[in-house]
A and B are shown apart, each in its own frame.
Chain A
Amino acid sequence: MQAAPSAPSAPSVTYNVLKRREAMIAYLFIAPTLVGFLLFVVGPMIIGIGISFFKWNLLTPPVFVGLDNYTRLFSGDPRLGTIYSTTVRLAIQVIICNIGFGLFFAVLLDRKMPNFLRNFFRLSYFFPFVVSGAAVAIIWTFLFNKDLGPLNYYLGLLGVNERINWLLSSDWSPIAIIITDVWKNVGFYILVFLGGLQGISRDFYEAAEVDGATGWQQFRSITVPLLTPTILFLLVISVIGALQIFDQPNILTGGGPGDATRTIVMYIYEQGFKFFDMGYASTLALSLFVIILILTVIQFRLSRSWVFYQ
């Protein structure tokens, strides 16, 4: 990794003392991080696995129930299938929209234009990303309002005569959540794609132009292949993020109507902090962890066949 610091040309005894002292200092330096890491990352992971074998409502002592929570996870919970399929469907749509729109706007922004204009666009797209998900969701509950919301009003002007019941219909509420999420996050994707685009040498395009390649051909054969590392990065972190969507549905729809927009993290929250079923909530959390882990590993494996490193 890192070359050892140049050994002072002193006798080896002193050198050993120095080396030991350096290690001591290093342990002191990493101590705060390590203690926090053990207490709040490793500890909870292990405790979580432990709790998953118990039934515990926090008020009475925990009762060991063996694999009951796991049996319930795999076969005894009629809501879980719906909730996971809602989560996965929302995640897929959010990821596709964010990556698609992100790439689209990044390519447009990468063209020649006055600097003030580019800065203005970049700022306006990125700003919602730094605003809290809670504030964004509250803003959108008003925008989505069926009777007084601006969205339905302008859709009406465009000829959509029926007032859409964005937050209370099971057809539209997932779309409302996707719109809110993309509005909030697409700026991040644009910025990362812009970074990737700036890393592509102009020479490739000049060479392609000499060969008479059209804009679309250049996009397909130069831009996209050279952006595949960026796409992989965004894909990995957006899968992790999108499977954990919580703020927006919790505030916009509360998971409803029925379970139409209830995500797995909302369900974990509900089981843990509304029904106080700590054991099952931990089991659900572990199932999400395993799914995310498997998906991440699969993505890295598959990436060997489609990601192109220069």
Chain B
Amino acid sequence: MSTLAEQRTTTLETPIQRARKPFQFRRVLPLLILGFGSLLMIAPFVWIIQAAFGETSKAFVIPPLWFPVNPSLDNFISAFEQVPFQLFTWNTLKIATIVTIGQLITCSLAAYAFARLQFRGKNIVFFLLLSSLMIPSQVTLVPTFIIMRQLGLYNTHASLILPALISPFGVFLLRQYFLTIPAELEDAARVDGASVFTIYLRIILPLSGPVLTTLAILTFVAQWNSYIGPLIYINKIELQVITVGLTLMRGRFGAGALGPIAAGIFMAVVPVLIVFLLLQRYIIKSIVTTGIKT
């Protein structure tokens, strides 16, 4: 008995003893490692910003510069001169916005049906949707291309938009959230004579702000960043999107001209950065919850 009590007092004392010591290398070391790691993550972006705003001839030199020399917008101007970057941006924005709105509609409707309504075949359809999450999208690349071509949609934005309008992942994400909304709320509305659609529109959707935001961010960012789709389906420069546009720029300038390409990268990354900084708590939370629930 006494030994146990003794042990307890010693363990209780340890944190106090630790706190008393002014500096302990062991406690600072993790912070140093983390700091070094985040330096490695941030440095490439800093270097790109330097190259985007600095003098073109000084962008890519040894030893590397970390601050722009004679800052100007010259690189941005020559980026726009070489390729129709404003079109790339507009196309990307248009596609990503339509896809995001489309997915919010299709996924929330289906998710509501799977979460709340009773119908024949519900479980089997839901299972099929879920198992398709395991089908790598690249596997259907060739046949989807052929379907698009038969539909006359090669070289149109529709070929990028249509397949992305639905998302089994989105259905799953929203369904899991809808299941956590108390059913009593809907019962009350039903007693008052509200239709299923009214309940979905007036009760479920307003209560699902966070998860809808999450899905919107994930969809928008994925679409903004997609590369292989536009690479295959779009063969006209005026219809092209930012990601492929950047690689086209690299082709035109050659690997030496970092400045204008860095300006292009800067323009491609900044919208994502803004969305990310504004809504990071949704993004992080969604990653963590989908990580745990799946």
Contact = CB atoms under 8 A, between A and B. Distances in A.
Interface of A: 1-2, 4-6, 19, 22-23, 25-27, 29-30, 32-34, 36-37, 39-45, 47-48, 51, 58, 105, 108-109, 111, 113, 117, 120-128, 130-135, 138-143, 145, 147-148, 150, 153, 183, 187-188, 191-192, 194-196, 198-199, 209-210, 230, 233-234, 240, 243-244, 246-247, 251, 265, 268-269, 272-273, 278, 281-282, 285-286, 288-289, 292-293, 296
B136 interface: yes
A285 B7 contact: no
B60 interface: yes
Contacts of A1: 123
Contact of A125 (B37, B225, B280): B37
A153 B118 contact: no
A25 B142 contact: no
Contact of A138 (B37, B221, B265, B291): B265
B38 A230 contact: no
Given A139-B44, A240-B134, A244-B138, A30 B110 contact: yes
A5 B166 contact: no
Dominant secondary structure of chain A at its interface with chain B = helix
Contacts of A198: 288
B42 interface: yes
Contact of B62 (A148, A194, A251): A148
A288 B255 CA distance: 33
A245 to B, nearest CB: 10
A111 B117 contact: no
B40 A27 contact: no
Contacts of A130: 221, 225, 272, 276, 283
A263 to B, nearest CB: 10
Contact of B106 (A36, A183, A187, A281): A36
B292 A195 contact: yes
B268 interface: yes
Contacts of B41: 124-125, 127-128, 183, 187
A191 B291 contact: yes
A127 B60 contact: no
B139 A30 contact: no
A134 B138 contact: no
